[in-house]
Amino acid sequence: MTFKRSSGILLHPTSLPGRDGIGDLGPEAYRWVDFVAESGCTYWQILPLNPTGYGDSPYQCFSAFAGNPYLVSPALLLDEGLLDFSDIADRPEFPSHKVDFGPVIEWKKKVLHRSYLHFKKLTKSSILADYLNFQKENEFWQKDYALFSALKDMNGGRSWVDWPEPLRTRQPEAIAEFTQEHADLINELTYWQFLFFRQWKKLKAYATSLNLLIIGDIPLFIAHDSADAWVAPHLFTLKPDGSPSFISGVPPDSFSPTGQLWGNPHYQWAVHKQSGYAWWISRLSACLEMVDIVRLDHFIGFTRFFEIPGGMPTAEIGKWKPGPGADLFNAVKEKLGSLPIIAEDLGVLIPEVIALRDKFDLPGMRIFQFAFYDDDKHDFLPHNYIRNTVAYTGVHDNNTSVGWFNSSPDHVKRFCLDYIGSNAQDISWDMIRAVWRSIANMTLAPMQDFLRLDSEARMNFPGVETGNWTWRMDVHYQEGNLAKKIHRLNEIFSRLNAYNEE
């Protein structure tokens, strides 16, 4: 799918301002949507919205289908009578510049539980009818996820592979007994999901009313400790005891002498093929109900993947295996029609990756920060872009543009300044302009770059297991007529509200 000349801003909802310790789907999210629309941008890009697990990463989630309940807005619950002001009177004082996940999760769980107690008192209302419809429409994943979450709670948060064997292997009698004994907890966890999807879909509808499109994100791999692996272990490279027989990663290179060990189970692609890729079609379909465009993370893995035996301490032992390639995307296209997909094709590209991307007319990605370590032939330099490309100053895994420049070697700084004609006084906006003026159809930058923020605003350090995903935006981000400045940028480079006429 080829996109019009347009632009957008990358910001995950957790980074929004607010009083509850973490950005959520409430009033500040609507204020943010207004800001993006006023800026003349077409897209708001987010990270995965699924429930976060280890390290609070949106790329290691307990489900590929469920939503993150910690994004539920208490303010909106107050508006609907699903909370009283007394329920939030004991709100702790949270830092405004970062998410302190431990206290935030404790607080949000307390608020969600109090809301559930209000909900249980409803006997007849449109909210109750909406809840029943939610259960019916999402039955294919929701029941299993609520059960998984309840089991996890009752097993001290341990991974499902460490649960008692009858529950780990989903033996019907054990599952029925647990379901009956903990019915109220399962219902509550279902309610939390209902609240998330109810609030998100209303926010999404508001964005649509302003001609704003949302770009979502699908990680290639699922987390091992997830409802997906527990419910359907036959779809993944798992042993009978649930432990991985093969895990993901990349082999050693000049940057990592022992390679990178990611630890996610691989897919049993032959099994997926036998079902017509039903699980993947369901996953993409569910995501596209939530967003307008999907960024497929680690697109390279659809052509080939590095398979490491489970239990290995490093990624030094393994072998490359072929991925599903065009077979998967043909099946998806047959069921879903058009493919509003961005291929995250960063890294060393082999011909098979380029061929797969181009066969389905999927735009790849270019990152401006990656362009200055080679020569003027580097593909990530804007003069080498092609039209069907999504170009970024940087993404969530990169430093901010200011932080990147300040920490770069002198020769890289010189090359960058000479290339963009900058005196380094406003480096992030100079980099944004260089990307915006390029031929790329779609351009985006993290909000941190528009705010000229340094490394303290970085979202993620790949390879660092803790302390990521914490940055939050200051409540005064709109000061200085920032939306008007971005609007003028879009106007100058013909990227203004690309879909307003539709």
Interior CA angle at 110 toward 105 and 113, to 5°? 120
DSSP class per residue in 236-266: BSB-TTS-BSEEEEE---SS-TT-EEEEEEP
Q: How many CB atoms lie within 10 A of CB 409?
A: 10
The rounded distance, in Å, linking the Cα atoms of 156 and 167 is 14
Residue of 297, 345, 430, 449 marked active site: 297
CA torsion through residues 390, 395, 400, 406, sign:
negative
344 part of the active site: yes
297 part of the active site: yes
**Cβ atoms of residues 439 and 386 within 8 Å:** yes
The rounded distance, in Å, linking the Cα atoms of 396 and 46 is 10
Residue of 153, 379, 397, 454 marked active site: 397
Q: φ, ψ for residue 236 (rounded to 5)?
A: -130, 165
Residue of 20, 144, 228, 344 marked active site: 344
Nearest Cα to Cα of residue 438 among 421, 420, 451: 420
Per the rule left: phi > 0, alpha: psi between -120 and 50, beta: everything else, 406 is: alpha
Q: How far is CA 198 from the centre of its chain?
A: 19
Point out the residues that are catalytic.
297, 344, 397
